[in-house]
Amino acid sequence: MVERVLRYVREQGLIVAGDRISVAVSGGADSVALLRALLELRAELGAVLAVAHFNHGIRGVEADADEQFVRELAERFQLEFHSGSGDAPGYSRDRKLSLETAARELRHAWFAELVQGKKTDKIATAHTQDDQAETVLMRILRGTGTRGLSGISPWQAQRSLIRPLLGVSRQEVEAYLKRREQAWREDSSNKDLRHTRNRVRHELLPMLQADYNPAIRQTLADLAEVARADEEYWERHLTGLKARLVRSGRPSRSGRSNRLQPTLACDLSDFAALPLALQRRVLRAMGDDLGVALEFKHIQELLILARQKRAGAEVVLPAGLVARNSMRELQISNRTESQEPGEYCYPLEVPGEITVAELGTMVRAQIRSFQSLSGYNSGLLDRALLAPELTIRNWRAGDRFFPAHTRSPKKVKELLQPGRLGRELSPDERRSWPVIESAGEIVWMRGFPIPEAFAARGGEAVLIEEVKIA
């Protein structure tokens, strides 16, 4: 096993001469085997070893006994011993996380402190090939893409984490320890089937191995390696692509970029020319850059939004993000930061009313009975042709409206010219001019007759009224 670890460390470039390596030792078989293997290799690798143990506050006296076991192991080999602790159950409750996730976050935060405090250069954790197989299988069950399939990385440079045992199975680990007559601690929580990983480890993987593929662990680990290499390739390719397509800061109406806004904008013309696989990766990367891991369903919603030929169309994303199609760009930003001064967007139920503070008015959608079955009324909308909920918002670049008595849809920008309205609008008044849309199509605009296609000619009609707030 030691020879395989040495080969893997060199292939992956995990350790260089002079590295100070803190081995994360829980007391279990995997971490004890990692420590013993690196002790055998430290002269050849030129590494300085220490032991790091974190008590998660989960198993009480049993956890305290684990810490004492690890401390004595460090003393036996005359290694520096780092110890840390945390309240994983409390952290789990406060953050509404699974206990496993809470423990991992606390542990990694402590690892980061060791590195930032210059007490070590790298942290070596004892993830094995079995851990890799379990991780990949769990992600497949939950739903994932190629990034998820890449599983556990041998080296996370940003966290200074290395995993020298990823090429070794748990069976090999235990056989190695028995040959060395090295004891280890058994964590009773590893048999608790309430945890998903334990069910995968003790039920699902053994069943797959017995009934479907005797080499299932190796197969899943190989899949992770293939996916990881693909991800590394695409990540390098995306760097240049993002520099060309995506820029930070939302464009102002003058066309200049406001870089104070936490917004990413993607050029839609170049984006449309990309293969679908690259489009998905660009969108996922934009989410990553804004600190949000977008799921497949969110990527699909963004793809549909990018293909729409309607300015102002939006999609709400997780963590308070919103995406908007401006016809020229797909903009993703924080919802509270995504609007320029004077911009607004409110739902308007039918019947219902909404106060639009930006206008200083109240807008009402009232139901009226249309008595005459002939003729045309420029102020009444056919209720049967409208969505149950309308949207009132300020107009945006690219919007078009088809007022009655005109031959074709007009750009709202053109309709707001002094010659159309009979007066000059101030910049603020022009920017906040209201329109109402139904299912994405503008059906009402202040100061203009409604489109003939939506005009009421019988039955129930909707009257839009705008009342100044005193």
Question: pLDDT tens across 132-163, in order?
Answer: 999 999 999 988 888 889 999 999 988 999 99
What is the chain's alpha carbon radius of gyration, rounded to the nearest angstrom? 31
* pLDDT value of position 256: 40
**pLDDT score at 470:** 62
pTM: 0.64
**Contact, 357 vs 451, CB < 8 A?**
no
pLDDT for 143 equals 82
In sign, the C-alpha dihedral spanning 306, 307, 313, 319 is negative
The whole-number pLDDT of residue 29 equals 95
Give the fold, CATH level 3, of 249-337: 3.30.465
Q: What are the structure tokens assigned to 96, written together? A: 């509404």
Integer CA distances (angstroms), 86 to 57, 61, 100, 212, 405, in order: 6, 15, 13, 41, 72
**Tokens found for residue 3:** 């020879």
pLDDT on residue 370: 64
Q: What is the mean pLDDT of the chain?
A: 88
CATH class of 2-232: alpha beta
pLDDT for position 10: 95
Instruction: Note the pLDDT of residue 279.
Output: 94
Inter-CA distances, 385 with 157, 372, 437, 451, Å: 57, 18, 12, 12
Q: Report in angstroms the alpha-carbon separations of 409 from 310, 376, 386, 453.
A: 13, 19, 19, 12
2-232 and 249-337 share one fold: no
Pairing of strands 20-24, 122-124: parallel
Task: Name residues of the chain where pLDDT drops below 70.
Answer: 249-261, 310-311, 335-342, 370-378, 470
**Structural domain boundaries of the chain?**
2-232, 249-337, 345-468
Q: Which helix (H) or strand (E) holds 437?
A: strand 434-438
pLDDT at res. 261: 47
User: Could you give the C-alpha distances from 157 to 122, 161, 206, 218, 223, in angstroms and in order?
Assistant: 9, 6, 33, 25, 22
Give one word for 383, left, alpha or beta, with left for phi > 0 and alpha for psi -120 to 50. alpha
